[in-house]
């Protein structure tokens, strides 16, 4: 149920303390309305293309909330990969442990599917 926030012309307007010195953080509080983080658990080029398309949609949707005062947390690509899939890809594609694969390498891995 929506409720009006206290404003200048309400009886509680005088009771609201003035802003204090310093900066206040701005948070987006309506999280159910925000886009859900896509998850990658596939193994084919088509799965990679579909994931990257979903991630770009998610990224652009949350980027719309970016202001000069605050921004939403956007999950990095590496955080959107299912754990078992991440280990397998790191072992066979990168020949590294998961912690050694950078964000740029993950992005390049998914963008590579577009070129094929």
Compute the average pLDDT of residues 35-44: 90
pTM beyond 0.85, yes or no = no
pLDDT, the chain, mean = 80
46-102: pLDDT as tens digits = 999 999 999 999 999 888 877 777 777 889 999 999 999 999 999 999 999 999 999
Assess whether pLDDT exceeds 60 at residue 28: no
Would you tell me how many other CB atoms lie within 10 Å of the CB of residue 75?
14
**What tokens were used for 10?**
């309400």
Alpha-carbon separation of residue 62 from 4, 92, 104 (angstroms): 26, 32, 20
Compute the average pLDDT of residues 21-26: 56
């Amino acid at each position: 149920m929506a409720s009006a926030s206290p404003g200048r012309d309400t009886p509680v307007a005088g009771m609201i303390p003035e802003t204090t010195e310093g900066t206040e953080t701005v948070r987006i509080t309506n999280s159910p309305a925000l886009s859900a983080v896509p998850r990658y658990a596939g193994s084919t080029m088509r799965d990679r293309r579909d994931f990257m398309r979903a991630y770009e949609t998610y990224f652009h949707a949350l980027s719309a909330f970016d202001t000069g005062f605050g921004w939403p947390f956007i999950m990095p690509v590496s955080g959107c990969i299912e754990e078992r899939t991440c280990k397998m890809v790191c072992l066979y594609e990168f020949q590294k442990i998961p912690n050694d694969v950078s964000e740029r390498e993950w992005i390049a891995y998914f963008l590579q599917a577009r070129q094929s």
